[in-house]
Amino acid sequence: MADMWELDSEAIEERVAFRAQVRDQVWRETKRRMRFLGFSEQEGPATPNALAPTSAAAKAVHLMYLEVATEVGNAARELAADAATRAGRAAATYADLGEAAGITRQAARKRWPDAVGTQWTLYTLTGKSRPHSMTTQVFRSSGKAIETGRTAVDEGALADDGAVGAVVINAAREAVWACYFNDGTWAPEEITLPEDLQTVPAPGSPEHGDWLHKWDQFITSNL
């Protein structure tokens, strides 16, 4: 977990400035809403503390400020949850999420329990003749990934650049389902990948490129 005061001075200044921008934005929105309290933006206080501390007007302004600040916090939490989910789909770990959020790995897992480890990646091989192209899609449901892959291969015969093969892998990068377009039956046919294709190396690695090439060759040999 990052300690703000272990950062260099420039980073600290940037964070302080950012918080000031958020504070100012909350105050501007509070002033905008003050018309519901009977103030115009010109008549309202210049700062949250400009009114007599114990006055009824101060109470109303501070409660309005609290309302706006709470909305900002809720919006920020929603944005953070969405970002955590998208990071998890991109193979981020809970340790990565915790570091980014300034919390522990355990706290990140508790805060976003479904962000990591519940993803399935669909690879599709497209094009009737070589060289083939490949696409990838990430899903939160294995059933949706398989359904999408089967539909793509089923409809692949209708276009020269349609899908001819598909494989779905889990978060552990293990193949859980695969199919190709069978020209004999004119329908998708589920297949079991050879042992050397059942584990998919991480994208960006030389091994991943080798896997894609071997998968291409395997599907082509079945067409």
DSSP letter for each residue of the chain? ---GGGS-HHHHHHHHHHHHHHHHHHHHHHHHHGGGGT--TTTS-SSTT-S-TTSHHHHHHHHHHHHHHHHHHHHHHHHHHHHHHHHHHTT--HHHHHHHHTS-HHHHHHHSTTSSS--EEEEEEE-SSSSPEEEEEEES-HHHHHHHHHHHHHTGGGSTTSEEEEEEE-TT-BEEEEEEEETTTTEEEE-PPPGGGSB-PPTTSHHHHHHHHHHHHHHHHH-
Residue 114: pLDDT band with limits 50, 70, 90? confident
Q: What is the tens place of the pLDDT at every residue in 4-20? A: 545 567 778 888 899 99
pLDDT at 113 over 60: yes
Q: What are phi and psi of 128, to 5 degrees?
A: -70, -30
Q: What span, in angstroms and rounded, lies between the C-alpha atoms of 93 and 108? A: 10
What is the average pLDDT across 66-72? 95
Q: What is the pLDDT of residues 158-187, one digit of tens each?
A: 777 889 999 999 877 889 999 999 888 888
For residue 52, the model assigns a pLDDT of 80
